[in-house]
Amino acid sequence: MGLPDRKWAQRLFEYASEGLILLHLALTLYYAVYSVLLMILVNLACLLSCGVSLFLLRKERIRAHTLLIYLVELIHLTVSAICVGWSAGVQVPLIGLTAMVFLGEYLGRSMKLPYIRALPLALINFGVYLTVFPFFFHRPGLLGLERSVIFTAEMLWSLLVFGLLIWGMFSVVQLISVSEHSLANKAETDELTGLLNRAGYDRLLGELDLKSTTLLLVDTDKFKGINDNYGHETGDRVLQKISRSLLGNFRHNDHVCRIGGDEFAVLMVNVGTLEDGKIVEKIRYINRELAGTIDDELPAVSVSVGVAHGAGAKDWTELFRNADSVLYRVKQNGGRGCMVYNAEQA
């Protein structure tokens, strides 16, 4: 999974807007049951405004969307406190609104989106709260609704706000988790070839079982000459070709890594010494494949490979040393070949 992007954030904001549309639709129906005409009209106006904000969001007018949503809800809650009554629970979403604008700014900053600064909005929110609270805390709402209506509204507001805040915090945790995972993957991925880099290779050593792992060290033959004669851009394309050939010829559960400039490593799992002949033949095929120049017009290239089995090593360092020692022999013999480490012949 990649890093959360603009589309991820937009979907999140769309869910919030659609949730507010459902909320005001529910409130419209709620007040319709009790024939509270003023609040029906207020919530219908909010419904229309939320629809406009959703349109702005889909046109990527994120700042306008955020500001409209905030002002609509602030006005709605203020009118509710005055008309329905402070005890109807509107103070809960009024406080929760402050948390939500800070959440919006956090998401905006995290994904480098245009956003509305939360602090000024929070101060406006606080000012409204202090203005409404002294006048209506001990007074019933102007509409004089029955206590049962007010109590139901209080419960609904509380459930709504706690639900929104839990959803918001879940979104933040998801954002952080996905971002950390993606950054970790990016840190372990070679940008040129898309293979695991040395950091990814080192991580695998901590996860795989040494005794059931076979290591192949792969070195590109005479790669410096390719860079010198054809240029570094061609050299990069050659490395990409080698990486594709390695990926295409090993199993999906084997791990192909680029551990140096023109050096690769393949960590094969659950391969015994009886498979040595198949590994050698596989490398012969890869070298024949790399010698082809018709399709990509790249210079012919070959690789030298040293193979060692973890069953014959006491630790990963020794396994690497064993594979490297036979790789050196292949290079000394002119390259373009494969040799398997044998402790009796070492």
Per-residue pLDDT of the chain (346 residues; tens, 9 = 90+): 455 566 777 777 788 888 888 888 988 998 898 888 998 999 999 999 999 998 988 888 888 888 998 999 899 888 888 888 777 777 778 887 888 788 778 877 877 777 788 889 889 988 888 888 887 777 777 787 777 777 787 777 777 777 777 876 777 777 677 666 666 667 788 889 989 999 889 989 999 999 999 999 999 999 999 998 999 999 999 999 999 999 999 998 899 999 989 999 999 998 877 789 999 999 999 999 998 765 668 899 999 999 999 998 999 999 999 999 999 999 999 999 999 998 765 5
**Of the options 3.50.50.100, 3.30.70.270, 3.40.50.2300, 3.40.50.10880, the CATH number for the domain spanning 198-340:** 3.30.70.270
Q: Which residues contact 213 (CB under 8 A, 6 or more apart)?
A: 267, 268, 269, 310, 319
Query: What residue spans define the domains of the chain?
Result: 6-187, 198-340
DSSP 156-203: HHHHHHHHHHHHHHHHHHHHHHHHHHHHHHHHTB-TTT-SB-HHHHHH
Distance CA 170, CA 115 (A): 20
Whole-model pTM: value is 0.54
Distance CA 38, CA 80 (A): 10
Phi-psi region of 84 (alpha: psi -120 to 50; beta: other; left: phi over 0): alpha
Residue 65, CA distances (Å) to 17, 78, 105, 304 in order: 9, 20, 13, 60
Q: Tokens 């790789």 appear where?
A: 327
Neighbours of 146 (CB within 10 A): 9
N-term to C-term CA, the chain: 45
Give yes or no for a contact between 57 and 9, defined as CB atoms under 8 angstroms apart: no
| Helical (H) or strand (E) element with 101 | helix 91-110
Work out the burial of residue 120: count CB atoms within 10 Å of its CB; fewer than 13 is exposed, 13-18 middle, 19 or more buried: exposed
Identify which of 189, 300, 190 has the alpha carbon closest to the alpha carbon of residue 234.
300
Distance CA 98, CA 9 (A): 19
HSE at residue 156, side-chain half, CA atoms within 13 A, is: 13
Give the angle 317-189-309 at the CA atoms, nearest 5°: 30
Distance CA 325, CA 339 (A): 10
Beta-bridge mates of residue 216: 266, 307
